[in-house]
Amino acid sequence: MVVESLVRHRLTAWVLVLTTQALVLMTGCGRSAPAASQSGTAVVIFIDFSASVTGEDRASFRREIEAEILPSLSAGDRLLIAPIHDKTLTDFRPLVDTSLPARPHFNGFLDNVLKFNRSAKELDAQILLLKDKTRTEVANVFAKRFASKYTDIFSSLLLAQKLFYDETRRKVLILMSDMIEDSPPYNFEKVSWSPATTEKTLSELDAKGLIPKLAGVCIYVSGASAASAELAENIGRFWQAYFRRAGADMEPSRYAHVLLHWPPSNSCHSTT
């Protein structure tokens, strides 16, 4: 009797241990599901449609979106495209806004493997359809004629702060522009550039609340150009200082006339 009682006691203890472990694992998987649904990358592209940007540059922008950026998107990612113009803050309307469905988290205790794999294939097919639809929308954007009196990059960056607010996905901002700010009272082609000019301009912008908070945002610039190499270098140095003050990650190698080093590496972000 003593032996039987001891055996029953040990069996009961093992059942309790295994049950507890299973509950812990199931609970842990349940908690991770919302995080999985928020994984991915939020890519925001601002495109300059001002007169200073040539048709050849716009064709290059379109190729970069269709051939490089769109193919790199995966489950859980978002792509938003908006114009840079003189009414960015007062009349904002995205030209393209596509969110790809997130890939569900597999739960070994609850999910049927065959059903899960079938759902994964259906998800992949849905993503391909969404990418095709987005490619058509991008083509329509560049087929239209947009005109802007000014190139207000500063306002676009303030809007980027709003778009990324509370964004839990990785944040990537692409500026497709010559980066020549032309909005009252700033016209970068008429500025007498020097280190003092850059610091003075940044202090003015800071005082006016025109430097956004872009911590955790990975920045790319495609299309940077100017009438002379000297002017292009001065404008480039200004934007490097601007993005440092905004807390963003803007490596000089990602500031260019074309889109370089895409897709971004895992280290492309800033926490300062």
Inform me whether the pLDDT recorded for 148 exceeds 50: yes
What are the beta bridge partners of residue 222?
A: 176, 256
Distances from the Cα of 68 to the Cαs of 40, 64, 252, 260, 267, in angstroms? 17, 5, 20, 10, 19
Q: Which of 2-11, 116-125, 137-146, 174-183 has the highest mean pLDDT?
A: 174-183
The secondary structure of 61-77, three-state, reads HHHHHHHHHHHHCCCCC
Tell which residue, 225, 227, 248, has the closest CA to residue 176: 225
Highest-confidence segment of 27-31, 143-147, 164-168: 164-168
Whether residue 233 contacts residue 187, with contact meaning beta carbons closer than 8 Å, is answered with: no
Task: State the average pLDDT for the chain.
Answer: 84
Mean pLDDT of 107-135: 81
**Chain-centre distance for alpha carbon 262:** 12
pLDDT higher than 60, residue 40 = yes
Q: What is the pTM of this model?
A: 0.83
**Which neighbouring-strand residues pair with 221?**
175, 255
What value, to the nearest 5°, has the Cα angle with vertex 112 and ends 22 and 36? 70
> Does the pLDDT value for residue 36 go beyond 70?
no
How does pLDDT run across 223-272, given as a tens digit for each residue?
Answer: 999 999 999 999 999 999 999 999 999 999 999 999 999 999 888 875 54
Q: Nearest 5°: CA angle at 104, between 99 and 107?
A: 170
pLDDT tens, position by position, 57-106: 999 999 999 999 999 999 999 999 999 987 777 778 899 999 999 987 76
Specify whether domain 41-256 bears CATH 3.40.50. yes
Give the span between the Cα atoms of 270 and 249, in whole angstroms: 5
The pLDDT of residue 112 is: 65
Task: For the chain, give every domain's residue range.
Answer: 1-37, 41-256
Whether residue 24 has pLDDT greater than 70: no
Report the C-alpha gap between 45 and 141 in whole angstroms: 13
Return d(Cα 114, Cα 112) in angstroms, integer: 6
Spatial distance between the Cα atoms of 261 and 126, rounded to a whole number of angstroms: 28
